[in-house]
Amino acid sequence: MADELWTVQRILDWTCGYLERKGDEHPRLSAEWLLCSATGLSRVEVYMNFDRPLMGEELDLMREGVRRRGAGEPLQYVTGEMPFRHIILRCERDVLIPRPETEILVDAALEGVDAAVRSTPRVLEIGVGTGCIACSIAAERKDAIVVATDISPVAVRLARRNADVLGLGGRVDVVECDLVSGVSDAMMGSFDVLVSNPPYIPSDVVPLLPIEVRGFEPGLALDGGDDGLDVFRRILEVAPRVLASRGMLCVELFEENVHLAAELVRAQGGWANVEVRDDLTHRPRVLVAKRKA
């Protein structure tokens, strides 16, 4: 590849064909994304610079990116970043890649922030991952303070880095711990929102996931046990201790277990209302519950 003249258009067309043969569902989009990452051009600039030749380092980056993507590695890991709502996040192996449906979870959490009576709403996130939820809430609600936890040290480091790069480090506190074990006792009972995107895929479904998911993303963030609700049950157990009066619980779950989760919340008691909301593809996805006064 490096011994020939490769223009933007030539390498875009070649990459698109190569990835299509490799089974990429969206080869053109993948080719554009890889090219933008290798050259620093935006997608608009790519189409305005078809005749621009790639330099040696750009070709090396493109060749490595195409190799990894052709092997099935998710684009977000290959390029190292992805957009989420109104922010750009760094992505790394061993940390779950944010999904578009999680934006609905953020919408629900923001409702809880807006309904808070205090001037500085408090949000607790369990399972921070890349920091997409915590950083989105802090970026879109300038008065909110977010405490986010994760048991994975890799995720904690990545979320802290994303918060710092976005200028949110002062309002997003990332704690390495299991669930809420590292959260200050003084803060218990003071959170207006408890939000989480926990592992929720039933164990027998995990092997059926696309290779792009099960072959690269961390099983710790995917496998939710026999019915997918192992971690959710633990979250539900601590929720009454975490939330303030009228506080909101927002959790993303599997379409086949979210209604069972809602029944578990109702059975626990102490909740004013419980509802299940659809994601962008009209599948039941997000559980929202509000504590009684």
**What are the tens digits of pLDDT across the range 174-233?**
999 999 999 999 999 999 999 999 999 999 999 999 988 999 999 999 999 999 999 999
pLDDT beyond 70 at 269: yes
Is residue 208 assigned to a domain?
A: yes
Is residue 88 assigned to a domain?
A: no
Is residue 279 assigned to a domain?
A: yes
Is residue 2 assigned to a domain?
A: no
pLDDT digits (tens, 9 = 90+) for 70-112: 999 999 999 999 999 999 999 999 999 999 899 999 999 999 9
Contact partners, residue 207, CB within 8 Å, separation at least 6: 214
Average pLDDT over residues 225-252: 98
Q: Determine the pLDDT at residue 4.
A: 73
Q: Are 201 and 222 in contact (CB under 8 A)?
A: yes
41 and 140 belong to one structural domain: no
Q: Are 90 and 161 in contact (CB under 8 A)?
A: yes
pLDDT beyond 60 at 159: yes
Tokens 């989105």 — which residue?
136
Q: Determine the pLDDT at residue 3.
A: 58
**Two tokens, residue 266:** 């109702």
Is residue 62 assigned to a domain?
A: yes
- Here the CATH number for the domain that contains residue 148 is 3.40.50.150
63 and 131 belong to one structural domain: no
145 and 19 belong to one structural domain: no
24 and 152 belong to one structural domain: no
Q: Determine the pLDDT at residue 110.
A: 98
31 and 119 belong to one structural domain: no
Residue 52 structural domain: 8-72
Is residue 77 assigned to a domain?
A: no
Element (H, E) at 150: strand 145-150
Task: Tell me the C-alpha distance between 74 and 68, whole Å.
Answer: 8
Q: Determine the pLDDT at residue 25.
A: 87
Three-class SS state of 288: strand
Q: Determine the pLDDT at residue 107.
A: 98
pLDDT beyond 90 at 1: no
Q: Determine the pLDDT at residue 2.
A: 47
54 and 101 belong to one structural domain: no
Average pLDDT over residues 159-173: 97
Average pLDDT over residues 39-48: 92
65 and 109 belong to one structural domain: no
53 and 145 belong to one structural domain: no
- Here the CATH number for the domain that contains residue 67 is 1.10.8.10
Average pLDDT over residues 254-262: 97
51 and 147 belong to one structural domain: no
67 and 99 belong to one structural domain: no
Q: What's the mean per-residue pLDDT of the chain?
A: 95
Q: Are 118 and 112 in contact (CB under 8 A)?
A: no
Q: Determine the pLDDT at residue 280.
A: 87
203 and 139 belong to one structural domain: yes
Q: Determine the pLDDT at residue 28.
A: 94
Element (H, E) at 123: strand 122-126
pTM: 0.91
Can you list the alpha helix ranges (DSSP code H) found in the chain? 8-21, 27-39, 43-48, 56-70, 75-79, 102-115, 132-140, 153-165, 211-214, 230-242, 258-268
At residue 73, what are phi and psi to the nearest 5 degrees? -70, 135
Cα dihedral angle (225, 268, 195, 217), rounded to 10 degrees?
Answer: 0
Q: Determine the pLDDT at residue 288.
A: 98
168 and 39 belong to one structural domain: no
Give percent of the chain with pLDDT exceeding 90.
93
The count of domains in the chain is 2
